[in-house]
């Protein structure tokens, strides 16, 4: 057992001290280009580390999307490692968006890579997929908790294709997504103020579609993370979608639909920022530079996600 404090407890403290902000670092090629940078490892490094330096100084959580780093090969992974290190040095928690999910020794290897003691890319928490069966994640969850880390389990995601699987009904009448939420909440039984296992529920879901019944019974603090709010939906929509839950919601900030990193800082902004302490630097946003964010995919692009965890 690690001497590190539980992830749920650390998250609660981070939100209490820094406010409810989770900032995504999603170095999409279109965003790198919008910043006037080359779409190669050097552009990735400048984009990702610049965004991390500014955002991690203020946000409770920084959420790098691993795929955008992996696409640059070994050089991209080295940048990801620096992003994790930079965010942690600035006092932010790191939620690494990798969506791993497998069985047996393969899942054990993913666990060792990210959330075990001595992990190669040691995040505070990772996203995982339960669609090889929730039981395939239980050892990962146990290892993460033992190491003072956490996991977020995909439950009801924002993409339209997911509904056919995630809303399928089980013999007991629950949807597959609801069963996943209940299983995650059960792992958090008795955890205060927050558990170490969260779930991902998109802000585009219908009202009341997912709720944490087990959390209601046990008082466990199961967290909902909600991508998809930028598709014209807000954290209030996600609260409606998880109505009646005792959970906390992590959802995209409704005023940041294009994402903090979707706007390149102008030279003037960079110069002003350089002269300020890290904690006083402005977060890039609309009007801070001449570039517009690239078009979204039209469904649920997570380019430059900015999220706001709010208690229901």
Active-site residue set = 99
Cα 255 to Cα 306: distance, rounded to the nearest angstrom: 9
Tell me the backbone φ, ψ of residue 94, rounded to 5 degrees: -115, 115
Beta bridge partners of 225: 200, 250
Q: Which of 154, 147, 165 is nearest to 128 (CA)?
A: 154
Reading the block at residue 89, the tokens are 């040095």
Q: Tell me how far apart the terminal alpha carbons of the chain are, to the nearest angstrom.
A: 32
What SS3 state is found at 152?
strand
CB count in 10 Å sphere of residue 179: 17
Q: Which of 46, 86, 22, 74 is nearest to 304 (CA)?
A: 22
What's the DSSP call for residue 244?
T
Query: Do 255 and 287 touch, CB atoms closer than 8 A?
Result: no
Cα 116 to Cα 118: distance, rounded to the nearest angstrom: 6
**Largest Cα–Cα distance in the chain?**
61
What SS3 state is found at 198?
strand
Cα 96 to Cα 122: distance, rounded to the nearest angstrom: 9
What's the DSSP call for residue 184?
H
Alpha-carbon 168 to chain mean position: 25
What's the DSSP call for residue 129?
-
Beta bridge partners of 152: 127, 198
């Amino acid at each position: 057992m690690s001497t590190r404090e539980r992830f749920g407890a650390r998250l609660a403290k981070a939100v209490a001290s820094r406010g409810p902000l989770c900032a995504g670092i999603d170095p999409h090629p279109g965003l790198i280009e919008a910043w006037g940078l080359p779409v190669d490892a050097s552009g990735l490094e400048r984009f990702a580390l610049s965004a991390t330096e500014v955002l991690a100084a203020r946000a409770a959580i920084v959420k790098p999307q691993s795929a955008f780093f992996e696409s640059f090969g070994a050089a991209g992974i080295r940048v990801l490692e620096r992003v994790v290190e930079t965010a942690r040095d600035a006092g932010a928690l790191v939620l690494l968006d990798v969506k791993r999910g497998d069985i047996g020794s393969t899942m054990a290897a993913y666990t060792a890579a990210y959330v075990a003691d001595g992990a190669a890319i040691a995040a505070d928490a990772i996203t995982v997929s339960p669609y090889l069966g929730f039981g395939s994640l239980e050892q990962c969850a146990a290892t993460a908790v033992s190491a003072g880390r956490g996991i977020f389990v995909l439950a009801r995601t924002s993409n339209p294709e997911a509904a056919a699987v995630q809303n399928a009904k089980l013999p007991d009448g629950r949807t597959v997504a609801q069963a996943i939420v209940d299983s995650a909440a059960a792992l958090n039984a008795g955890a205060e103020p927050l558990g170490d296992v969260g779930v991902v529920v998109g802000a585009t879901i219908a009202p009341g579609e997912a709720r944490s019944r087990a959390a209601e019974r046990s008082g466990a603090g199961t967290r909902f993370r909600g991508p998809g709010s930028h598709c014209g939906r807000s954290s209030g929509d996600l609260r409606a979608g998880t109505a009646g839950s005792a959970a906390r919601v992590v959802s995209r900030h409704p005023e940041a639909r294009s994402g903090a990193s979707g706007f390149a800082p102008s030279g003037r902004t960079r110069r002003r920022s350089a002269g300020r302490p890290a904690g006083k630097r402005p977060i890039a946003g609309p009007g801070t530079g001449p570039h517009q964010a690239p078009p979204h995919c039209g469904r649920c692009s997570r380019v430059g996600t900015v999220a706001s965890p709010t208690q229901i």
